Chain A
C-alpha cells in the first residue's frame, strides 16, 4: 500500500517534470511559487461561535501532514494561514484584506460563517481571488453569474430543510409541527427550505415557531412553549450547544414528539453524548458524511486512514466531534482541485477546476455521495440520506436523496 503510493507519487513527479520540460507552461498567480502555495482562511477561534474553530485546527494539521510526509502537493508545500475573526464581520473584512493584500495568498479556503463570508463576498469577487468551499450552508454561495469567485461546499441549508419538509409530508401529513430556530441566517435558510418542502397544502401544519438568541442561557422556556402548542413533530434548527439542551429538556419533561434535528447539530460527540444518548433515541437527521462512531464503518479504508491521521497529527482533538470529519472531507476536495490544476496554478484555473468536478468520491462521505460541479452548478454537494439515532450512533434509512440543482 505504502509502496504503491510512493511509486505513484514518484511517477506523478516524473510526469510533471517531463511536462515542465516539454510544454513549459508553468503559470502561477500571486501566492504560488515552485515550492509553495499560500492558502488563507478566516475562522472563529474565539467568540460565540468558537466551537467551530475545530475545523480550522484540523485542516492546519492536515496540511502539516501533507507537507511533512508527501512534500506538499506536486512538490509545493501548503503555507496555510488561518486567522481568528471572532465571528465578527468587520474583522473578517480586515483579515481577508490582510490575507489577500499583505500576505498575498493564492485563495481563501473554507472560511467559516454566513455573515462573515457575506461581508467579504463582494470584495473577493472584485479582487478576483477564489473564496473556495465556503464553510456555511447558505445558498447564496452558488451564484456563478454574479459571484464567479465564490463556491460553497456542504449541502445547503435550504436543500436540507426541504428534505425534512418532504419527509414529514409523506410520513405524517397531518403532523402538528413545532419549530425551534436560532434567530440568525441559518435559521432563516432552513425555514425557507422547510416550508418549500412542506408545500402550500400543509404549511398550516406548523403550529408554533419559536426562536432563541445565540446568547440566551437556556432554551427551556421555548421547549415548554412548543410542547404546550400541542405539536407532535419537533423540528430543531439549532447549533450544537442548544441542540444538546433541547434534547435533554424534551426528555426531561416527558414530551415525545417525532424529533428532527438539522445536520449542523447532529454530531455524536458534541451533541448526542453530552445530551445523553438515551434521550436522543429516534431523532431524525440527514447526513452526507459517515458517522464515524458507527462500528459499521470501522473497516472502511477511509475511516481507518482518518483515525490514523487524527491519532498522529491532531491527537488533542475529540474524534467524536463532527467538525473533525467534515473539515477532513472538505480538505480532500480542496487538495483534489489543487492537484487538478497541475502546474497551471492560476486563480482562473483554480475556479475552472473547481467548477469541473465529475463524480469525485471524497473520504468519509457516505457511499453514493459524489461531488459534482459545473460552470453553472456551484453546489458541490447535494446528496443527503436520512438517519435515525439508535443506540449510540446514527442509522441510515431510506434512499440517497440527490437534489440537483437549482442553479
Chain B
C-alpha cells in the first residue's frame, strides 16, 4: 500500500511537470493554432538564464520573476521577428521553423553552458511532509504551482477581454480583425505567455531532473501526450492529461508491464483515448461549416 501511494505521488509529481509543459503547448495552440515543437527547448533556455542569474548571486525569487519576464519578451520577440514574416506560409513550413528553433536553442545552450548537468536550486525544501518518506514538500510544491498556473490561465481566458480576444484571433482571424482585435499582436502575446509558462515549467523541472540542454527532450514527448489526452485546446484538459499520463506511466511501469515499455504503453493509451474521443477527453469537437 505504501509503495502504491509512493508511486502514485511520484506519478502525480511527474504528471505536474508534464502538465506544465502541456500548458505551454496549449497556450500557443489556443492563441496561434500551432503546435510548438520548440516549447521544451525555449523553456530549457530560460531555465539556464535563471541559473546564470542565481549563479551570479541574484536571489532565487528575483531571478525567478526576472526569468519569466525575459522569457515573455523572448517569446514576443520570436513571434514578431521570426514567425510574423511567415504568417502566410504553409503549416508544415512553420513546423520546420519550430524544429529549426529547437536545434538552435539546444546547440546554443550547449555552447554557452556545456552539456554537463547543473544543479538548479529548488524553491521548496526537500523535507518530508509526514516524515515517512511518502510525500515531500517539493512534490506538493510542484503540483501546487501547476494548479495555480492553471487557475490563472483559466480565469484569463474565460473572464478577461484580452483572453477572449486572443482566442478569437486564433480561431477566426478574419472575423476577429473585423471586430477590431489586433490579431497579429494577439499571436505575439500568445507566444510570450507560452514562453513564460515554459520558463516556470523549466524552473520546476530542473531541480528534479537536473539542468542540461537535453533536459526537456524526453519531457516534451510526455507533454505532447498529455495535451493530446486532455484535448489540446483546453488548459484544464492538458493538466488533467498530464496527471493521467504521469500516474498511469508509473503504475503501469511498476505493476503491469515493466519499465522497458512503459512509455510505449502510455503512448498506446493516448492513441486509444484519441480513437474513442478524437478531440481528447476534455476537448470539444469543433464542427466547421463548409
Contact = CB atoms under 8 A, between A and B. Distances in A.
A touches B (Cβ under 8 A): yes
A381 interface: no
Nearest to B6: A224
Interface residues of B, number: 40
Contact of A224 (B106, B136, B205, B254): B254
A213 to B, nearest CB: 7
A53 B115 CA distance: 8
A241 B212 contact: yes
A211 B115 contact: no
A107 B290 CA distance: 65
Contact of B260 (A46, A211, A321): A211
Given A253-B133, A276-B119, 15 more contacts: A51-B116, A51-B212, A54-B114, A54-B115, A213-B260, A218-B208, A220-B10, A221-B7, A221-B249, A221-B250, A224-B7, A225-B254, A254-B133, A274-B117, A274-B118
8 contacts: A46-B110, A213-B259, A221-B14, A221-B249, A224-B254, A225-B253, A244-B210, A274-B118
Interface in B90-130: 106-107, 110, 114-119, 126
A213 B114 CA distance: 22
Contacts of A318: 114, 116
Contact of A218 (B118, B133, B209, B254): B209
Nearest to A271: B117
Contact of A241 (B14, B210, B263): B210
A398 interface: no
Nearest to B112: A316
Contacts of B126: 252
Contacts of A22: none
B217 interface: yes
Interface in A191-243: 210-213, 215-218, 220-222, 224-225, 228, 240-241
Nearest to B127: A252
Nearest to B250: A221
Interface string A299-320: 0000000000000000011100
B209 A269 contact: no
Given A46-B110, A50-B213, A51-B212, A270 B116 contact: yes
B184 interface: no
A33 interface: no
B116 A217 contact: no
Interface of B: 3, 6-7, 10-11, 13-14, 17, 106-107, 110, 114-119, 126, 133, 136, 205, 208-210, 212-214, 217-219, 221-222, 249-250, 253-254, 258-260, 263
A44 B221 CA distance: 22
Given A215-B221, A244-B210, A252-B136, A220 B13 contact: yes
Nearest to A229: B3
A48 interface: yes
Interface string A262-283: 0000000111011110000000
B117 A216 contact: no
Contacts, number: 105
Contact of A183 (B11, B106, B136, B260): B260
A221 B250 CA distance: 6
Instruction: List the 6 closest pairs (A to B, CB-CB), nearest first.
Output: A274-B119, A51-B115, A50-B115, A228-B3, A215-B218, A221-B250
A321 B117 CA distance: 10
Nearest to A322: B116
Contact of B259 (A212, A228, A275, A316): A212
B6 A244 contact: no
Given A46-B110, A217-B222, A224 B117 contact: no
Interface of A: 45-48, 50-51, 53-54, 183, 210-213, 215-218, 220-222, 224-225, 228, 240-241, 244-245, 252-254, 269-271, 273-276, 316-318, 321
Contacts of B17: 217
Contacts of B110: 45-46, 50
Contacts of A276: 119
B88 to A, nearest CB: 32
A273 B119 CA distance: 8
B116 A321 contact: yes
Contact of B14 (A47, A218, A225): A218
A221 B253 contact: yes
B209 A224 contact: no
Nearest to A279: B126
Nearest to A213: B263
Nearest to A318: B116
Given A183-B260, A216-B218, A220-B14, A241 B117 contact: yes
A5 B249 CA distance: 61
Contacts of B3: 224, 228
A222 B119 contact: no
A240 B213 CA distance: 14
Contact of B210 (A212, A213, A245): A245
A269 B116 contact: yes
Contacts of B13: 220
Nearest to A211: B259
Given A216-B263, A218-B14, A252-B136, A274 B210 contact: yes
A183 to B, nearest CB: 6
B215 to A, nearest CB: 8
A217 B11 contact: no
A247 to B, nearest CB: 11
B214 A210 contact: no
A48 B250 CA distance: 23
A248 to B, nearest CB: 8
B223 to A, nearest CB: 10
A317 B214 CA distance: 19
